[in-house]
Structure 1
């Protein structure tokens, strides 16, 4: 139960609903006991009535007496019906309080977890899979809700109904109480073991279904590759194999489920037989009336579901505790990227990097080693290097997605750690290498970084990124809805919409992380010419493996294995005839050969 203690703050928050639920449970159970007593009284009344009816009939008063007896039986029937209706009404109120409380807590939990996820650093997402993150905010929270709703509701019912019913049964007949309740502990233990089997097999089915869903998703996502390599039959065969595994596990669960109700009915039947037998012996002995047997049979049936639910509730609590443990693991993760002074001010964009080194904490790879450079406000820095040279790491450190292992980054003379994180990032426009567009309209994607959509800014950004004409050629223009990850657009269009999104918020610093890799040379030149206007009087960092992209920069650094091997402007680096000049010649020749 220890992992579930964290939920007490929610129970305290909604204590009003919980207390009302407890009150309604008590009242509901009172209306459960009263009908059983009425049944006993009614049966005893009928038995006694028949014993005096014959003498009255002989005296000529039989018809009148029968009518009076029937009126009393009718009154008993009406009272029992009223009690049942009142019980049903209060059961409705119990669900309206406790189940609604659990739904509200579920809502609060999901919001808390999602907000916590948003606050965690990029390193957290490198260590954990998206599927696992989603499972904890959906499936695990749902299991915890089952504890907060049905488990608490049935648990309260058990705690209130048991003392009420058993204490009353003992007051009526202790011996009959003992014999009638004898099979119930066996019932509870049986249900507990069956439930554990059901849960264990349900878990296996869930994992099998998850694997099946992943397989289908990959098959449909990669359908072009499957068709191109003529692997349809193999894929269908693999699917059939995964489907067979799911079928076998589902049948095994069905076999266990088949035990559930027979066990309940058998043990309830045994309890009823014992009650009738022992009660019958006591009736013959003159110790009790017929009505007591009927009353005790009703009590046994009343207690059957709470006892049955005991095993089920225990199982729910176990699963909720396991799920809450998983949720707590992520909630206990702390964001180590915090501001020291929370400086919030408009920056001019001067960047000074000194002896910057960085080792990825999860993999231990040294991405940067003693890197130093400086960019004046309004100037452009080009960062050139091959794949794995540490280019994108510099972008992540400038955005403060990570903190450096050693060295300092200063913006406008202040270390980056002193700035308020949100304020700093709002003033930086970032175009990532892997373009991600949301399943929304093109206009809303471009306006993503704005506090509120401004059509004029959206259109200007689209023009600057040379994507305006493409957008207005669509039938719905800026209202065109993009598919998943922007699948509606071509690679070049997605890249330019991503650039438009970065510049729409008019950032002081613009970081282009190899963002022209998906476009051809001609389109690249068009975008670069457009970027000349965008980058004017704005500090820009162009990261690329293409030398042509870096030609716009005032200063260029060449990275290799995390170290600066060359730096200078385009002309001085060409004159040095080093790594930069070699890359330029190779790429120029490759471009010419493609054009030929």
Structure 2
């Protein structure tokens, strides 16, 4: 295991060290009570053999053995409850740490990693770690304690027989090493396949309407079954290796028992060992064999946890590419944005913005237009620092974006994306998600601003209507309007609308534009759209082509120039007619 992964695990072990010590204490008492039982069997058998036993004495031995057995059971229950409780706590702590860290990671991380695989790491992989930290830890403690104490007691009973017992041990240790090497590789594959299954199921459930619309259910089912059976085959390989190892361990245990009966019987015949001692020896052998049999399960759990911990550590070791090192807090006035020679390209792609220079004044309503793929969305995502330009810089109210803390900067920017993602909550909860709690929010007023009142009237619970996953019960236009209301609810200094009217009808769009016009001067608006009719009242329209600004001016001014804007406008008008 990587050093950092182990250090991360040690952090939690140290955090709960006193609880672990309490669990270890219960384990020592439980195992000690159990290990004492064969010794009292020895005393009872030897007293019978010598003829010194009577009914009362045997009853005493039987009573002691009964008390030890009950005490052992109670202490093992307390040990199990304590350690398993701890393993659940560690699982919750690690899941919280992973989720909190995921919230800090930049967009490039989510472009490279599938959400289903991340969910698998937070659930399946943490479950494997929990199993080892709980049952695995119990098995380790019991095995170590019982082997050490058992070895001491067996040496005390007969040194000669004990060395016969050790004959199969080197063979067993070699088998353990080979087993661990193979099982680790298998568990890495198994955990990765679980991630693939989770991602496949998540994606298909999210896109179930498309699947049904194209009648692709049989193909999707076959794809899911293919992943399942590959996972099943790899799991069965691990079962096969585990079965071989367990059978081998049992065979070695049987050979050890043969050595003890042969060597111990000779010692009893020679008078160097009592019959009671041989009975006790056999009892300790049975106690030690079962932990050794369980060692195969323990090793499998260890390798599974090790593979899972490495997968979890890949997330936790990832640093956000956008560093939150700024401390400046932006004020409430409308934001001024200055793009100075900005170059930007998504990972493994050519630059989508090339030396872009743009000055957006406070309170200005700026429209951004251009062909698909020209860099409009990239420009929008750079404003709240979802991405970082490779060259150049962006100023907000005279200061580079990086000098502001991310939280304070993003709190002043309302951002509506093309996808208009909504949470599976009520309409009210989705709008209040963007609320600046210091100011409060008037839901009814926001609904009016985005022309959503008539739609709300058709919902049985009004604004408290649950809208399903990703707002599945809403139309595309309704989702966009809820998202716009959410952005306005922040009372932002800058409002960025990235093609947010694409599913809204012309009349509704006109009403919302009127709302935005009323907000002019109170906040800066960056309005990205493909509908040129929406830009008639913009203070300025910026035309981007191949990552560069090629035209800039008011609607009538750009039409008069007869350039790219004029051509695109005329093409769109012709299509609408």
**TM-score when normalising by structure 2:** 0.90
In structure 2, C-alpha distance between the alignment counterparts of 1:238 and 1:19, rounded to whole Å? 48
8 A contact 1:194–1:259 mirrored in 2:
no
How many residue pairs match? The answer is: 575
Task: Give the deviation of 1:471 after TM superposition.
Answer: 1.9
* Residue equivalent to 2:64: 79
Match of 2:504 among 519, 523, 536: 519
Answering whether residue 37 of structure 2 is matched by residue 35 of structure 1, we say yes
8 A contact 2:118–2:195 mirrored in 1:
no
8 A contact 2:366–2:539 mirrored in 1:
yes
* Residue equivalent to 1:116: 101
- For residues 243 and 144 of structure 1, do their structure 2 counterparts lie closer, same or farther at Cα, with a shift above 3 Å needed? closer
1:131-530 equivalent positions in 2, closer than 5 A: 131-187=116-172, 189-190=174-175, 193=178, 204=189, 211=196, 222=207, 224-226=209-211, 228-231=213-216, 234=219, 245=230, 248-249=233-234, 252=237, 255-256=240-241, 258-259=243-244, 262-338=247-323, 341-360=326-345, 362-450=347-435, 457-530=442-515
Answering whether residue 88 of structure 2 is matched by residue 103 of structure 1, we say yes
Helix, strand or coil: the match of 1:438?
coil
Larger deviation, residues 355-364 vs 207-216: 207-216
8 A contact 1:382–1:541 mirrored in 2:
yes
**TM-score when normalising by structure 1:** 0.88
8 A contact 1:341–1:420 mirrored in 2:
yes
In structure 2, C-alpha distance between the alignment counterparts of 1:560 and 1:79, rounded to whole Å? 90
- For residues 332 and 193 of structure 1, do their structure 2 counterparts lie closer, same or farther at Cα, with a shift above 3 Å needed? closer
* Residue equivalent to 2:539: 554
In structure 2, C-alpha distance between the alignment counterparts of 1:374 and 1:156, rounded to whole Å? 67
8 A contact 2:179–2:241 mirrored in 1:
yes
Helix, strand or coil: the match of 1:358?
strand
In structure 2, C-alpha distance between the alignment counterparts of 1:297 and 1:435, rounded to whole Å? 71
- For residues 75 and 272 of structure 1, do their structure 2 counterparts lie closer, same or farther at Cα, with a shift above 3 Å needed? same
Task: Give the deviation of 1:185 after TM superposition.
Answer: 5.0
In structure 1, C-alpha distance between the alignment counterparts of 2:223 and 2:9, rounded to whole Å? 43
8 A contact 1:184–1:304 mirrored in 2:
no
- For residues 19 and 209 of structure 1, do their structure 2 counterparts lie closer, same or farther at Cα, with a shift above 3 Å needed? closer
- For residues 77 and 278 of structure 1, do their structure 2 counterparts lie closer, same or farther at Cα, with a shift above 3 Å needed? same
Larger deviation, residues 265-274 vs 5-14: 265-274
In structure 2, C-alpha distance between the alignment counterparts of 1:365 and 1:35, rounded to whole Å? 75
8 A contact 1:355–1:407 mirrored in 2:
yes
Question: After superposition, what is the alpha-carbon deviation per residue over 1:98-117, rounded to whole angstroms, capped at 9, x for unaligned?
Answer: 33333222222222222121
8 A contact 2:450–2:511 mirrored in 1:
no
Answering whether residue 47 of structure 2 is matched by residue 45 of structure 1, we say yes
- For residues 585 and 212 of structure 1, do their structure 2 counterparts lie closer, same or farther at Cα, with a shift above 3 Å needed? same
Task: Give the deviation of 1:44 after TM superposition.
Answer: 1.6
* Residue equivalent to 1:580: 565
* Residue equivalent to 1:58: none
Larger deviation, residues 248-257 vs 92-101: 248-257
Larger deviation, residues 570-579 vs 89-98: 89-98
In structure 1, C-alpha distance between the alignment counterparts of 2:417 and 2:20, rounded to whole Å? 49
Task: Give the deviation of 1:149 after TM superposition.
Answer: 3.0
In structure 1, C-alpha distance between the alignment counterparts of 2:441 and 2:338, rounded to whole Å? 36
* Residue equivalent to 1:12: 14
Task: Give the deviation of 1:509 after TM superposition.
Answer: 1.3
- For residues 141 and 459 of structure 1, do their structure 2 counterparts lie closer, same or farther at Cα, with a shift above 3 Å needed? same
- For residues 213 and 456 of structure 1, do their structure 2 counterparts lie closer, same or farther at Cα, with a shift above 3 Å needed? closer
Larger deviation, residues 80-89 vs 13-22: 13-22
8 A contact 1:366–1:562 mirrored in 2:
yes
Gap regions ≥5 residues in structure 2: none
In structure 1, C-alpha distance between the alignment counterparts of 2:426 and 2:169, rounded to whole Å? 61
Helix, strand or coil: the match of 2:442?
helix
8 A contact 1:353–1:371 mirrored in 2:
no
Greater Rg by CA: 1
8 A contact 1:427–1:507 mirrored in 2:
yes
Question: After superposition, what is the alpha-carbon deviation per residue over 1:339-391, rounded to whole angstroms, capped at 9, x for unaligned?
Answer: 55512242312423143322235224212122223233222111111111111
